[in-house]
Structure 1
Amino acid sequence: MDSSTEERRSTARVVSPVRPRKLAKVPFVEMAEGRLQGVVSSGSDIDRVYVSSVTVAPHGLSCSTNNNRPCGGLRDAYPCKHITALVAEADLQYGTEQVARFLRLDMTQVSMGTALTFLIKGHHQPTPAATVFSSFLHHLAYLELPQTTAPLPELHWFPATGAVR
């Protein structure tokens, strides 16, 4: 099935993680809006999370708390531990090649086994955390819904289990 046919369908393919992930450290990771972005738990404070992102080339790096306090570990072109964790989890979720293509990294370096984080030649580019954090909270809200087999109007596009029509 070509991509144009798939774009016209009312269902979407669900892509399972390439390898299992532990959600405690990076509960949310996505490739959207021209960024690899997500939410990363703080290593020192259980009540704090960081919103981290890497833009598609030229790789703007951003990391701040959910209330826009800057991460102290992000130093211009050098990713902090939160961005490093985000990239590592994206690698588990989507696979090395897909993340590398999305970020427009040098695929010859990727094929030689170089870690994705080392291929990101970035610069500090603050990005508001609110959009990513809001998306994360929106996804969490689905966990609060009671179990039901009735359709959810908001998820009408989401594929049902079983055969696709």
Structure 2
Amino acid sequence: MEEHVQLTPLERYVTRIGEKFGESAIENAYINELAKHVPTLVIQKEQWKEVARFLKEDESLHFEYLSNLHGIDYEDRMEMYYHFYSYKHRQNLAVKIVLPRENPSVCSVAEIWGGADWSERETYDLLGIHFAGHPNLTRIMLPDDWVGYPLRKDYVEYDEEV
């Protein structure tokens, strides 16, 4: 008698993405025990846009809600985090993209999840992460003539009077 093995949500995500894009699309997969045990995928930057669309459109995944996105400066690299929810499957997912510190850039997902628009602009404005293909990647919080990105660890305040 053949035994049916039930996959965990994380195993299912890894399997579906691997089937569609190959195993190399995922750099790492783990349960983030520091963040409510959310399944987390580290996706190759070059495949992010296609994987993102698949996460939303594939019926077995259906992550139709992007609840949050943010960037982090780790001094030696930058990272983008995306937090998703599937109402259909009642499941959470976090995705991480590792970026180089110099000229960090990742594909915009604003055309996939409209709610990403202003969050990507905020991340660009404060951390300097470029979102390729964004429809209006301009400053949203700081004046247009602001020098630098104030949330970077190497940011030096500019004071004209000194």
- Structure with the bigger RCO (C-alpha within 8 Å, sep 6+) is 1
Q: Normalising by structure 1, what TM-score?
A: 0.26
Q: Is the strand fraction higher in 1 or 2?
A: 2
What is the TM-score when the length of structure 2 is the normalising length?
A: 0.26
Q: Which has the higher helix share?
A: 1
